A and B are shown apart, each in its own frame.
Chain A
C-alpha cells in the first residue's frame, strides 16, 4: 500500500539559509499535518491543511510557511534557518478530518532530518 512520501530524507543547511521540505500524502487522504521533533523530544504539531486550506496552526515560527497544492502534496518552507531548527520533520496524512469521535488515524512519513550548521 502507498505510504506518505517525504523528500528529501536528509538535508544539511547553513544558518540563515532556506529549506523546502516536501510531503506527498497517501492518495485520497484529505488532510496533511506537519510535525517537528527535536533531539530527544516528542513531536510537536506545526500546521495542518484540509482540502488545500490551512486548517490549524501550532507552534510554527513566523520564518516558516507551508501550503498544500492542487495535487494535495504539501511543502514546508523554512527561511533564515537557525541552529535550533535542526530536527526531524514529519508529515502525516489522514482521511477523516477531525470528526468528533472519529477514527482520525494519521499515517506518518519517514521524516526529513534537517541539520543546520
Chain B
C-alpha cells in the first residue's frame, strides 16, 4: 500500500464477538475513512472521521483516530455472519486534492 498498514490482514471470529481492525498511515491527513467490500464487489462507505475528531460511532461501529500516532481503529461490536467482508481504511491527505490512499485491508470472517 502507498499509505500504510492495516492489521491484522485476516481475522476470524465467532458471531457475537467484537472485531477490531487497525490502520496506520504516514502523512498529515484531512480525514480518514473506512470502507467495506464484499468479495470482488463495490466499496461501501462506513464512516468518516475528521483529523480533529478522536472517536466516532455509527450503529455497531466505533472508530478512533490518534493523529499523534498516525493510527486508527475500527471496532465492530456484536458481529454477525453478514459482517464477513474486507475492510479498508483510506486517508484523505492534506493538500492532495481529495484522492484517497487505501490501506491493504483486513479480511474479516465471522462464523455463525
A: residues with CB less than 8 A from B are 31, 33, 35, 42-45, 48, 50, 55-56, 58, 88, 90, 92, 94, 96-111, 113
Contacts and interface: CB of A to CB of B under 8 A. Distances in A.
B95 A45 contact: no
Interface of B: 1-2, 30-31, 33, 35, 40-45, 48, 50-52, 88, 90, 92, 94-105
Contacts of B51: 101
A43 B103 CA distance: 8
Contacts of B101: 45
A100 B94 CA distance: 6
A42 B102 contact: yes
A98 B92 CA distance: 8
Contact of B99 (A56, A110, A113): A56
B9 to A, nearest CB: 11
A56 B43 contact: no
Given A48-B97, A97-B98, 16 more contacts: A31-B98, A33-B100, A42-B102, A56-B96, A56-B99, A88-B40, A90-B43, A98-B92, A101-B30, A101-B50, A101-B51, A102-B31, A103-B31, A105-B48, A106-B100, A107-B45
A106 B90 CA distance: 10
Contacts of B95: 98, 100
A98 B91 CA distance: 12
Would you list the 4 A-B pairs with minimal beta carbon distance, nearest first?
Answer: A98-B98, A42-B102, A56-B97, A108-B43
Contacts of B99: 33, 45, 48, 56, 58
Contacts of A104: 30-31, 92, 98
Contacts of B41: 110-111
Contacts of A45: 99-101
Contact of B98 (A44, A48, A107, A111): A48
